[in-house]
Chains A and B, each alone.
Chain A
Amino acid sequence: MCGIAGLYTKTDALRSQLGVHLAAMLEQLSDRGPDSAGVAFYRDPAPDGWCKISVHSATDEPGWGDLADALALQFGDATLTGVRATHAVFTVEGAAADVEAWLRVTRPELTLMSAGKTIEIYKEAGPPGDFVRRYELAGIEGSHALGHTRMATESRVTTEHSHPFSTGLDLCLVHNGSLSNHNRLRTALRREGIHFQTDNDSEVAAGYLTWKMAQGATLEQALESSLDDLDGFFTFAVGTADGFAVLRDPIACKPAVMAETDEWVAMASEYRAIAVLPGAEDAVSWEPVPGRVYSWGTALVA
């Protein structure tokens, strides 16, 4: 079992409160996933010609300042824009793919959590309530965010095995469920050049979407083809630069509820995580139909 949550804001007032509300949603989903928690926030776009990366260090002395200097030296310019617990966010003058490749070679002990223009990913093993406080989620503003609470069934409980998983630039995936054909699929995707950090089944779903979109599929097409190629149970929420998408497998053992008001669109594993949002009692709420892609934002089918 896991818990997933997504929140998309429609007003400036709510944007400034995004972290407060996502934190409240995650706390409601703690029972569904007490092992680990993670979030993806979409905020503060990097300037033109720059990218933004989120990096995690397992050591106590990651030397974030030194890394910023090294990135600036390599790529023209770079700024350390924030540190939360074991994670740091940098903006770098250059292409995300180049930064990613350079980091993998020069700092292999670090884990790249996300790359793009606006995405920031934070995740860690441990109780969701601790995570919410340690990462001071309540202070994070942004346009939209996804969250996950994990109860591991398929692989180890570590920060690297936690969700969200990056699925490409400004894309990420959170998953409630389990996949049964992930080993063979991972082998096939590795042959196609997709890089995996763990033996986690959900990371394979993320890698699958990355690969499909690299082949030219839109996110919507990639999600639809996952219905054929992924064997198992899933409710997915996929974050994009402009919004998020939701898909449940056709058997639909894993729950999902969606709701919308004039101020926000939300999805969650259970309604109680939506009930904490302002105006929830008057929201239009519904259960997403199995096998149908739901999406918000404009860039999904670009």
Chain B
Amino acid sequence: MSEMTTLAPPEVPTWRMYRAMVGVGLLCGLLIVTAFQVTAPIIARNRAAALQRAVFEVLPGAASSKTFVRQGDAFVPLPEGASDTPAVGEERVYAGFAEGGDLIGVAIEAEGMGYADVIKVLYGYGFRENAIVGFKVLESKETPGLGDKIEKDPGFRENFKALDVSLDPAGKEPVHPIEVVPHGTKTSPWQIDAITGATISSKATGSLLRKSTAYWMPLLAPRRGDFEGSR
């Protein structure tokens, strides 16, 4: 290397540099396209399976699921062959059906700011219970050992087995917006019992669910037929 600084490098014609870069670039492009072509269907299958598993997890008893797209006030099944990733502004929900084909509920994705980064969750809304019946964190970067307890803590998960979100008589908003209360003081079915030592993450979870349910419940509750009529 020290020679390079004292001696000028030998003249190389520009076309040789072009040849080398373009040649290698073409080869690399070909390799990447091949790898993409081979893995794309497997990755898509993995994604679909992961989503399916998550939907089953938040809708206890579900044996099959179907994706729906919101169109104005109505919900229509996602057409066959549609892209796996929703288009911008497209809102999707995932209906879960029991063994016999009875509608169990709808799984909804929601997100909100946590302590470290955005928390993404999937929760299940049961039509019969008029409540959140399941909850799963899809993505979070909360502090390991503290905030990440929202993913695993059994006591915290207990909150989402029947979290009341029933609507007021006009059907415009939930009667009792979801509240987060200090650990051990939960008295009503619309309250979330926070985790000691993870107050911010607990509150963030409560707040993102409150916002999401305030938006979705008035839309979903009157449209139960859209989902039931689809099978």
Q: Do A and B bind each other?
A: no
Measured CB to CB, the residues of B under 8 A from A are none
